[in-house]
């Protein structure tokens, strides 16, 4: 299938190229893009793939939730809210799909997708959570995720839901890839980028957000080159001023 990443990607940057639709039987080492919520696609990326729609489901049985990796985060959030299930409140404002969120251990503060995870199915079969290393915005999963099983806990937390939504209220609404950099230990990437004078800085059609400096937004006709320039500039300035090496949270292909 052909995907135009200038329309499909959350930052609205990228070429129009062929993307393979995969399942558990036809994967041949392509890069799985998911919803392209945190992925910057270059004009000449590696071979790309997207999951087949068969991995878009939620089922509830014997105290567990079984969720297809192509299921959107907001879909699982709504399911949990509707069925009074706890542990997925943080997904309300988190873009993307379950498979990609598990691979990067997405979350808000200490509320992470791996917290309630019991097991997942990858190309090599089913794996229990204890077999996988999870850390802040990290997992050691290096193959496609097809589905996941989560522990089912009753009691959707409406107060936590509102609290987490409020935390995301200061994020820009313009097209972006979310947080560009991981927060270094004991500090915040947005604070550091602002401190080196880059808040509001613009290169071509991409701007360091004036609302939150760790978000780089497409203000119109932004390009891959514009984004890369600002990413490199932020890393350079923060290292020169603070001796801190910023690590990308986004994926660059």
pLDDT of residue 109: 83
Whether 179 is a known active-site residue: answer yes
Active-site residue among 179, 207, 209, 237? Answer: 179
> Are the CB atoms for 6 and 68 separated by under 8 Å?
no
Whether 54 is a known active-site residue: answer no
pLDDT of residue 238: 98
Active-site residue among 30, 42, 137, 151? Answer: 137
Tracing tokens 């313009």 back to the chain, one arrives at: 174
Q: Are strands 107-108 and 111-112 parallel, antiparallel or unpaired?
A: antiparallel
pLDDT of residue 218: 97
Render pLDDT for 216-250 as a digit per residue (tens, 0 to 9). Answer: 999 999 999 999 999 999 999 999 999 999 999 99
Render pLDDT for 42-59 as a digit per residue (tens, 0 to 9). Answer: 999 999 999 999 999 999
Q: Report phi then psi at 22, rounded to 5.
A: -120, 160
Whether 137 is a known active-site residue: answer yes
Segments making up each domain of the chain, as ranges: 2-52, 54-165, 172-252
- pTM of the predicted model as reported, rounded to 2 decimal places: 0.83
pLDDT of residue 95: 85
Active-site residue among 89, 112, 147, 249? Answer: 249
Render pLDDT for 158-188 as a digit per residue (tens, 0 to 9). Answer: 999 999 888 777 788 899 998 999 999 999 9
> Are the CB atoms for 9 and 252 separated by under 8 Å?
no
Q: What CATH class does 172-252 carry?
A: alpha beta
CATH 3.30.465.10 applies to domain 54-165: yes
> What are the structure tokens assigned to 236, written together?
């350079």
């Amino acid at each position: 299938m052909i995907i135009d990443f200038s329309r499909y990607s959350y930052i609205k940057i990228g070429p129009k190229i062929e993307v393979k639709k995969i399942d558990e039987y036809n994967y041949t080492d392509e890069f799985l893009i998911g919803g392209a919520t945190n992925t910057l696609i270059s004009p000449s990326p590696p071979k790309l793939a997207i999951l087949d729609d068969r991995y878009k489901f939620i089922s509830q049985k014997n105290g567990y939730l079984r969720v297809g990796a192509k299921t959107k985060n907001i879909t699982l959030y709504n399911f949990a809210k509707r069925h009074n299930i706890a542990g997925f409140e943080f997904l309300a404002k988190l873009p993307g799909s379950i498979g990609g969120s598990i691979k990067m251990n997405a979350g808000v503060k200490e509320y992470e997708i791996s917290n309630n995870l019991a097991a997942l199915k990858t190309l090599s079969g089913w794996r229990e959570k204890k077999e996988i290393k999870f850390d802040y915005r990290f997992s050691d999963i290096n193959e496609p995720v097809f589905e996941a099983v989560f522990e089912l806990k009753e009691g959707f937390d409406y107060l936590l839901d509102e609290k987490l939504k409020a935390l995301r209220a200061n994020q820009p609404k313009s097209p972006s890839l979310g947080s560009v950099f991981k927060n270094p230990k004991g500090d915040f990437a947005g604070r550091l980028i602002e401190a080196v004078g880059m808040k509001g800085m613009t290169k071509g059609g991409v701007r360091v957000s004036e609302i939150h400096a760790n978000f780089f937004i497409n203000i119109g006709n932004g390009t891959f080159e514009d984004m890369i320039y600002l990413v490199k500039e932020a890393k350079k300035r923060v290292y020169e001023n603070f001796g801190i090496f910023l690590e990308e949270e986004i994926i660059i292909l």
